[in-house]
Each structure stands twice: as C-alpha cells, then as structure tokens.
Amino acid sequence: MVKRGGGFSLLELMAVLAILGILMGIAVPAFSEWIASQRVRDTAADIHTSLMRARNEAISRGLNTSIKPVGGNWANGWFIANPDGTYNPDPANPTIFIEQHGPVQNATISGAGTGITFTPVGRLSGTAIAIKITSAGTRTTRCVTVDTAGRPKTRPINAADTCS
C-alpha cells in the first residue's frame, strides 16, 4: 500500500480553477452592472443634496442662490455660488462658492440647463426643472425634479422615458 502525501493532485487543482473561472465569468458582468447602477444612484443623491443645500442657503440668507454646472456641463461637476461673497474656502480660487462637487465619471446628466436659482423664500426662479441621470452599462436611470415651490424629488424611471 502506497501512502499518499498531503496536498492536492494536479487534476483536483485544475477542477477547482475551472469552477472558479466559470463563477467569475458569471459574476463579473453582474458586478459591472451593479457598479454602473450605483454610480447613477450616487450621482442623483449628490445632485438632490446640493439642490436642498442651495434652497436652504437661499432661505437662510434671504438672497437668490444658484447651483451651476462647472464649464456649462453638469458631468464636470457643479457648485453653489455664494450670493453675498462672505465665505470663500479657497482664497486662491477667485470663484466664491458655498459648495463644490467634482466631476462625475461615466454618467450622463441631461436636462438641467446652465443653472438653477432659488429665491429668498425657497421657490424656484423660473419653471420646473427635470434632471435625468444615466450611465452606460446599466438600465438604472434616475430623475431629479424640482417643482416651482423649490422642492427637489428623486425617483427611478425607465431609460427610454422622459424625465419630467
């Protein structure tokens, strides 16, 4: 009788690697879809939070307060302009702002125009706004709307639907 040493045979090791390869082939596409879906959700939540902050600042300061895209493109990020110029967190930066959000990677933001302004009573200056957030690799789409009363709302929509 031959006594076997500890460890795995080459055949057992190859079987385990084949099973792992199959599982990874199934998991990676689902994981990629999940990451793209989270990107859409996070971007919508960030925009919603910034809209709430801009509205609150307009009410508390008693001044029109705007949220604007960096360079005219929301995917480049956005900032809340300081209406009275009393606080600038970066003196080297000539743009005085309350909050600044950096660029959004691999997401498309449409329908927000060149800026959103809230009046001193928290109402929207102008007509209602609808912002659609999508990303390649996912069917998840979010719509952030701001009614004329200035209240932002976020909801999921189908990718083919319009955001209104």
Averages of pLDDT over each 10 residues, the chain, 164 residues: 71 88 79 86 94 94 90 89 67 69 88 88 90 88 93 90 84
When divided into structural domains, the chain yields a total of 1
pLDDT of 92 = 60
pLDDT of 5 = 65
Q: Which domain holds residue 56?
A: 10-157
pLDDT of 52 = 95
pLDDT of 88 = 54
Q: Where are the beta strands (DSSP E) in 6-149?
A: 65-69, 78-81, 97-101, 108-110, 116-118, 129-134, 141-146
pLDDT of 139 = 85
Task: Answer whether residue 1 is part of any domain.
Answer: no
Task: Answer whether residue 63 is part of any domain.
Answer: yes
Sheet containing strand 141-146, edge to edge, reads 108-110, 129-134, 141-146, 152-157
pTM of the predicted model, to two decimals?
A: 0.78
pLDDT of 51 = 95
Residue 97's CATH number = 3.55.40.10
Q: What CA–CA distance (Å, rounded) separates 153 from 61? A: 23
pLDDT of 2 = 61
pLDDT of 152 = 94
pLDDT of 127 = 87
- Here the tokens at position 82 are 């300081």
